[in-house]
Amino acid sequence: MRREFRKSTLREYFESIVIAVILALFIRTFVVQAFKIPTGSMENNLLIGDHLLVNKFVFGPTASGIERALLPMGTITRGDVAVFKYPEEPERDFIKRIIGLPGDTVQVKQKKVYINGTPLDEPYVHFLEPSRGLSEVTSLDVRENYGPVTVPADHYFAMGDNRDNSADSRYWGFLPRDYVKGKALIIYWSYESEREDYEAAGAADTVKGLGSVFAHFFTKTRWERMLHQIR
């Protein structure tokens, strides 16, 4: 009798662990994903070293038709800060703001964005330097002047908030709907650091970098950005 009880208890523990793992994998795959800001293309809204939670559920999964059938597809709206697969290298993730929707005509004139001929109000935008003005209207610099272009169906026009320092749709074209992974939700941790690229670094540099984070965790954590909602 005692042996049967022990076996039953062990089985319950095992089943609980299996269920917990399945739930964790489900949340990681379909609902939320952690993402770190490695560049300054979204400054001053998002800073290098910000660690985000990305809501994958709101825009639905993109991997397969089965996932689309299981989970709903939300509507992507202008102004959403989205994480997506970089069209030129789909194995990399990018984060930008959705500016142009399918069917929109997008144009940049003297660094001002126009949607269907109407100037767009963008309080989040940051410039490294002001527009060079009317004397440079013929400039080929897409930071100054771009378009007009019309966004195709099932595509979007994405731009970084740091307009003078962002590789976005002005350079690599339109963003396919199927490449969008989710909407940036909240900053759960922010660490003051220079640009880090542990994937490209050697193993020794990676260990050194992580050691530096642990050593300066309290002094370099941006406590005021913790749980900051992304808009």
Name which of 184, 167, 156, 178 is nearest 36 in CA terms. Answer: 184
Which residues have CB under 8 Å from 215's CB, separation 6+? none
DSSP letters, 179-208, are GEEEEEEEEEEEB--S---TTTS-HHHHHH
For the chain, give the number of residues: 231
Annotated catalytic residue 135: no
Query: Residues 56, 85, 96, 183: which is the catalytic one?
Result: 96
Query: Residues 7, 8, 36, 41: which is the catalytic one?
Result: 41
Residue pair 53/185 in contact (Cβ under 8 Å)? The answer is yes
Annotated catalytic residue 16: no
Residue pair 82/217 in contact (Cβ under 8 Å)? The answer is no
Which residues have CB under 8 Å from 71's CB, separation 6+? 30, 57, 60, 61
Residue 132 — left, alpha, or beta (φ > 0 → left; ψ -120 to 50 → alpha)?
Answer: alpha
Active site residues: 41, 96
